[in-house]
Amino acid sequence: MIKRLLTLLLISFAPQVFAQVTTVTDVLDRQVTLDLPAKRVVLGFYGEDYMAIGTEKSFDNVVGMSKGIWEKWRPANWAMYVAHRPSLETLPDVGKVDTQTFSVEKVISLNPDLLVLADWQFKGLGNDVNRIEDAGIPVIVVDYNAQTVERHVQSTLIIGQITGQEARAEKIAKQYQDMVQLVADRLAKANLPKPTIYAEFGFPGTKEYGYTFGKKHVGCDVGNGRR
C-alpha cells in the first residue's frame, strides 16, 4: 500500500521534477524567467521552425497559435503539415497582429505558460504585451525575419531551450552557420557580377497580385551580397 502511494506521488509531481526555472535572454535582450521546458505554449509565428527544432513532439505542448500567418500566407505548406499532423487544424487561433485581430483575451483564456512572438509581432502589440505579462504569462521574442545569421542562430537556440532540445538546436545552428559560410566563400571565389533580383510574395494565388518588397527584406540582402 505504501509503495503504491509513493508511486502515485511520484507520478503526480513528475512535471515539477523535470521542470526547471530558467532565465532566457530573447532577441531583444529581455530577461525572461520561466519553467522550462514549457508545457503550454502559444505560438505567434514560426511554427515550422519550432517543430523542426523542438521535434514534432514539441507541438504536443502547443495550445494555440496565430494560424492565419501559416494557413493563409503559405496555404500549400500548411496543407502538407495538416495532412501529416491533423491536430494542427483544431488548434485554437489567437488571430493576427498585422490585421489587428490578435486577441489578448483568447491568449489568456488558453492559460499558457509561455507566449512566443516574432519581433514584429511584439512591437506591433505595443502595450498589449503588458496585459499578457500582467496575467502571469511570460513572453519570449524570436526573429527569423531579421535576415542575419546572428539573430537566426539566437532564435534557434532559444527555441531549443523552450522545448528542451538544446543539443538539437545547437546542431541545427552549426549546420546553418556552416552552410551560410560555404555559400559566402563560393560566391567570393566566383567573383561574379551581382544579378538584378525581383521578388514577389504571391500568397493570394495566381489570380491576384502579390506583394513586392522594399529595402528591408531578404531580396535586398541577397542583391547586396549580405548574409
* 34-88 per-position pLDDT tens digit: 999 999 999 999 999 999 999 999 999 999 999 999 998 889 999 999 999 999 9
62 with 159, same domain: the answer is: yes
Rounded-to-integer distance, Cα 81 and Cα 153, Å: 24
The three three-digit cell numbers of residue 149, written as one number: 545569421
Is the whole-model pTM more than 0.85?
no
Answer whether residue 23 is part of any domain. yes
- Strand-pairing partners, residue 20, are 36
| Predicted pLDDT at 211 | 58
128 with 214, same domain: the answer is: no
Answer whether residue 208 is part of any domain. yes
Is 141 within 8 Å of 17 (Cβ atoms)? no
161 with 197, same domain: the answer is: no
Digit-coded pLDDT (tens) for 178-199: 999 999 999 999 989 988 887 7
72 with 151, same domain: the answer is: yes
149 with 62, same domain: the answer is: yes
Domain harbouring 101, CATH code: 3.40.50.1980
Answer whether residue 127 is part of any domain. yes
**Domain membership of residue 213 as a residue range:** 193-227
CA distances from 28 to 61, 102, 154, 169 (A): 24, 21, 11, 19
What count of other Cβ atoms lies within 10 Å of the Cβ of residue 67? 19
Q: Give the CA dihedral 50, 55, 57, 59, nearest 10 degrees.
A: 10
Instruction: Count Cα atoms within 13 angstroms, Cβ side, for 5.
Output: 2
Place 15 in a pLDDT band, splitting at 50, 70 and 90. Answer: very low
pLDDT at residue 107 tops 70: yes
Answer whether residue 182 is part of any domain. no
Rounded-to-integer distance, Cα 33 and Cα 24, Å: 6
Answer whether residue 4 is part of any domain. no
Q: What average pLDDT does the chain have?
A: 87
118 with 215, same domain: the answer is: no
Place 206 in a pLDDT band, splitting at 50, 70 and 90. Answer: low
Answer whether residue 116 is part of any domain. yes
99 with 197, same domain: the answer is: no
pLDDT at residue 12 tops 90: no
| Predicted pLDDT at 3 | 52
| Predicted pLDDT at 10 | 54
The three three-digit cell numbers of residue 79, written as one number: 496543407
36 with 113, same domain: the answer is: yes
Answer whether residue 114 is part of any domain. yes
CA distances from 13 to 8, 17, 18, 45, 76 (A): 9, 6, 9, 32, 42
Number of domains in the chain: 2
Question: Cell 546542431 belongs to which residue?
Answer: 171
Is 153 within 8 Å of 176 (Cβ atoms)? yes
99 with 71, same domain: the answer is: yes
224 with 134, same domain: the answer is: no
* Total residues belonging to the chain: 227
Place 14 in a pLDDT band, splitting at 50, 70 and 90. Answer: very low
54 with 86, same domain: the answer is: yes
Question: Cell 508545457 belongs to which residue?
Answer: 39
Answer whether residue 5 is part of any domain. no
Instruction: Count Cα atoms within 13 angstroms, Cβ side, for 101.
Output: 10
163 with 109, same domain: the answer is: yes
